[in-house]
Structure 1
């Protein structure tokens, strides 16, 4: 986690909160406590003086808040550092306790449901995967996801009611109410109201978002372009592709979450990718197509002209569509992610970059995602952290605080 990143810290009281604090001492105390937590969350450890400087609060206010936060379990006192003068008692150092809360990132994919439990700094504690072979019905897919949730929570010793925040990723167009409006690649999935479906399982609201839109959130957090202000993140999965868009540093959803559904944008020509034998590198492709595509890739890596021609043709189609989108959105980066991008690696990325250098705006740089197959679930964890209600949450008791599980 990048220190100092605004997305990596507890949310700060807004203008409405500050107006309320002028009249309500309790609200003022909560706002000040959250301000102190915000400072500690963005650092390794801080002294009272450093916290006062960082927050603008008085030393006395910081002292009183730290007493409460330590008693509640939010912070711990760490090893002290001596005064520069060498005289007097060493200054106490305070650190945020990331283990006092658990969030869940859930990735409901075509062939599996993955659930990752993480602490409040996003460190994965345990990951549970339940395979979904064939074409399961909606009820079977939901039941499998719940089994993965139960396994992850059991592994870290936390009950569902103690989870501090939950974010769910799914293929398809997710509307503003957390329901899947359109999803043609998963049987019976169109119309599923995931936010409502999982609401009874937890004591907190359940956030739901399209998988590519959460993957781009992970990219902003810990990918090849952290903190980028303008970004297109292409999710190349094979037959089913999507895009995450970042504008002014914020993931863009469009009307009712429909932005980035490039499957429907036939005019871009990206649907021609499905005619390439390299599409067989996608995770969901039949074994025969996967074997054919893998053989082409291996020959291309050895420099075989015919195999390299297939990669060139694939890059041509991709670069034309992405160049057109780059003139519309003017991104600083275009990032290639998903199973195909990971499989083809720099063999594809360098060719796309060379073609876009001729046809896209000159400021656009092409990058290959470094996140690997965990991009979506990591994005779900990031979204869950962003929605963690700091002022409403209660830290887990010491006996309930999770620790990483081997193999998780």
Structure 2
């Protein structure tokens, strides 16, 4: 990295920002490191590293720590090497998942470590005010679990079923009563000091998969459960489209996605179920594992329904990977091989098909990632008018 003297005060400010970001990038998410190691990694001189680290320490981004010399707590002879770590606890982000049956909230520090969480069961028939009240209670429960006040939150994101416009307004939602035309983030204005970004749940699940699951530069994530939806990752980036409606292939009624889950569940009516426990789809999947002919036929039909919509998208974006997630991810052993066969029969290039391992956490994790990305964008801005201070990065 060059350290040549800039020709203007503005260039000096820009160079200082670049040096600060270089050091933060080396330390963020890592253990404390000595100055010499930070200097070697960034390519900055030891003196520049020292000066910048001290500035970042003063601003609350770094903290100097005791040297670990392997002496069991005894200080080594002579002056120990100065070490710094990133203060991940300086700020926090929130990820919210507003579903039909539950609301889930994660709280994480700036190193993406989850420090608080809370989950609350809700009813599919809850109206918008009732569900939003549950969202607020869940959020406050997660913050209490983390031992934090709302003022500690720098950014937040919320996932919800339906088409979400660029301004956070839900323009269509088949599963959440009363949410069409609603901007659910506004309900949290009195609770959180930061803006809450709202996004489609399948999109956030795709973002989480790209982050902590099956990684691919181009991917189709299928959210399979009470409904079918998709999230798209293209070129390593979440693709939402001009109005947030990318991937809503189920709008074509001819594909059959709108009632595929209902037709699958209807098969349970003909199954022997002495206990009556578990939802209908789960019973069908279990019966298929037990080689029940009707259940096997229903699973085959459901996989074909999924493939009908996914094929159209595979032929459009030619992805490396298709991931099956959502509430039916527990049936990946049945659905993934069938989906792979269906795609191989129709696609010019058959992508890899995998089941998600993120379970019910996918949407909340994706919301957490989106909130962290918001903080990252502020932190890494090279705008000399935005100082690298906590107040500026919070964006309050």
- Report the secondary structure of 1:319's partner residue: helix
Structure 1 gap segments, 5+ residues each: 1-18, 282-286, 396-408
Instruction: Please list, as runs of the form range in 1=range in 2, the aligned pairs for 1:2-401 lying within 5 A after superposition.
Output: 23=10, 25=12, 28-41=15-28, 43-76=30-63, 77=65, 79-80=67-68, 91-223=81-213, 225-226=214-215, 228-238=216-226, 240-271=227-258, 273-278=260-265, 291-340=279-328, 342-388=329-375, 389-390=378-379, 391-393=388-390
Structure label with greater radius of gyration: 2
Matched residue pairs, number? 365
Distance 2:267 2:199 in 1: 27
* Alpha carbons 1:117, 1:124 under 8 Å: kept: yes
| TM-score where L is the length of structure 1 | 0.80
Distance 1:235 1:168 in 2: 16
Identify the structure with bigger relative contact order (alpha carbons < 8 Å, sequence gap 6+): 1
Q: CA deviation at 1:172?
A: 1.2
- Report the secondary structure of 2:232's partner residue: strand
Q: CA deviation at 1:358?
A: 2.4
Alignment deviations for residues 223-281 of structure 1 (CA, whole Å, 9 cap, x no partner): 1x22x11000000122x221100111100011111112233133444345245334789
Structure 2 gap segments, 5+ residues each: 1-5, 71-76, 269-274, 380-387
RMSD over aligned Cα, in angstroms? 3.0
* Alpha carbons 1:179, 1:194 under 8 Å: kept: yes
Distance 1:279 1:215 in 2: 27
* Alpha carbons 2:105, 2:138 under 8 Å: kept: yes
Q: CA deviation at 1:90?
A: 5.8
| TM-score where L is the length of structure 2 | 0.82
Alignment deviations for residues 109-154 of structure 1 (CA, whole Å, 9 cap, x no partner): 1222222111222222221123222522222222221111112222
Are residues 248 and 146 of structure 1, via their aligned partners in 2, closer, same or farther at CA, if it must alter by over 3 Å?
same
Distance 2:7 2:306 in 1: 52
Q: CA deviation at 1:379?
A: 0.5
Distance 1:317 1:377 in 2: 27
